[in-house]
Amino acid sequence: MNRITQKLQEDKKILSIYFSAGYPNLNDTVPIIQDLEKNGVDLIEIGLPFSDPLADGPTIQASSTQALHNGMTTQILFDQLKNIRESVKIPLIIMGYFNPMLQYGIEEFCKKCAEIGIDGLIIPDLPVDVYADEYKVIFEKYGLINVFLITPQTSEERIRFIDSVSNGFIYMVSSASVTGSQAGFGFGNTQESYFERIAQMDLKNPQIVGFGISNKETFNQATKYAKGAIIGSAFIKHLSENGSGKIAEFVGEIR
């Protein structure tokens, strides 16, 4: 069974952390993953840096740019992760844009992910219809879960189609914006009602909320109706200010 599927079956709210591979320093990727697991994180999204990250806010864009300047590439990430399963047991997802995967070769990329123990992919710019028609068979051949995003503007018909072709969780974007915390404030009534509306659709795949989660308050708000929440920009800011040395402190404040 895929590690993501196993994790989602646990009777707990999932804390997922996103960071850009190769940030703050090129060789920080594996130590950060190991520290996050050691401190109780349930799932990790490893950002594959890209020069034109459409869905990302300024914090993640800056970390992605720095990682590229540090020399991070798809092949270097795979090389860094080749022995990751000797020390890390929790689910690992690569989040990145379609172009670098296409350049690497989709089947080769999926094969490499399977070899090193990656459990799934999040590809914001891969339309679900294209995935279902052209790539689903390849992903399933290598045991990879592909995670799709929905927003408050996504139609019910589209959400139900995404649910039908998904076999892990649905990434529920909290608002129609780029990544980043909402100026330190909690979620408003509009977002709360959106979370509740999706929960009432009784989808077969659980939802994990991303965008705008930065602290214990927003984590608890996001997980009131959903299975878990993803923290990205706030964690990258923490890395920017503290390096990779105070991860326990960051996670402790969320949980």
- Residues labelled catalytic: 45, 56
Coil, strand, or helix at residue 143?
A: coil
Closest by CA position to 117, among listed 37, 12, 188, 223: 37
Q: In what order do the strands lie in the sheet with 228-231?
A: 145-147, 120-122, 92-95, 43-47, 14-20, 228-231, 207-210, 170-173, 149-150
As a whole number of angstroms, the distance between CA 57 and CA 215 comes to 18
Going by C-beta distance under 8 Å and a sequence separation of 6 or more, which residues neighbour residue 9?
none
- Between helix 74-81 and helix 106-116 the angle, nearest 10°, is 20
For 50, the token pair is 């890209």
As a whole number of angstroms, the distance between CA 235 and CA 52 comes to 21
As a whole number of angstroms, the distance between CA 58 and CA 80 comes to 26
What secondary structure does DSSP assign to 175-233, as a single string? SSS-SS-STT----HHHHHHHHHHHHT--SS-EEEESS--SHHHHHHHTTTSSEEEE-H
For 88, the token pair is 């890390």
